[in-house]
Amino acid sequence: MLRKEAVECFDQIVRSSSAACAAKAAFDREASFIEDLGFDSLASIKLISDIEEKFDIEFDINELVYDVIGCYGTLLDNVMSKIEKKGDINE
């Protein structure tokens, strides 16, 4: 999978996880899932679950904190890092 395709797939997962996100043209890297994108705790858990399933990755329980998954950009960076470690990203 190309990095661009992985990012597009990530965006689709985020969009499908929240009605408020579906209409957004683009996401600000600093956007908070809870404060800016309207996620509640259940939607946040579903988002992580969907990402883990789609990319065949796992988040350790210690990673499920705001600093790692709270903002669009940090979550995207962490997901891409996990995919790259698996060797599933081609430039």
Sequence-distant (≥ 6) Cβ neighbours of residue 44 within 8 angstroms: 33, 34, 69
At 91, the pLDDT band (50, 70, 90 cuts) reads low
Q: Are 79 and 56 in contact (CB under 8 A)?
A: no
At 48, the pLDDT band (50, 70, 90 cuts) reads very high
At 36, the pLDDT band (50, 70, 90 cuts) reads confident
Sequence-distant (≥ 6) Cβ neighbours of residue 48 within 8 angstroms: 59, 64, 69
* Domains located in the chain, CATH noted: 3-86 (1.10.1200.10)
31 vs 29: CA distance, rounded Å: 6
pLDDT > 80? residue 90: no
The pair phi, psi for residue 25, each rounded to 5°, is: -75, -40
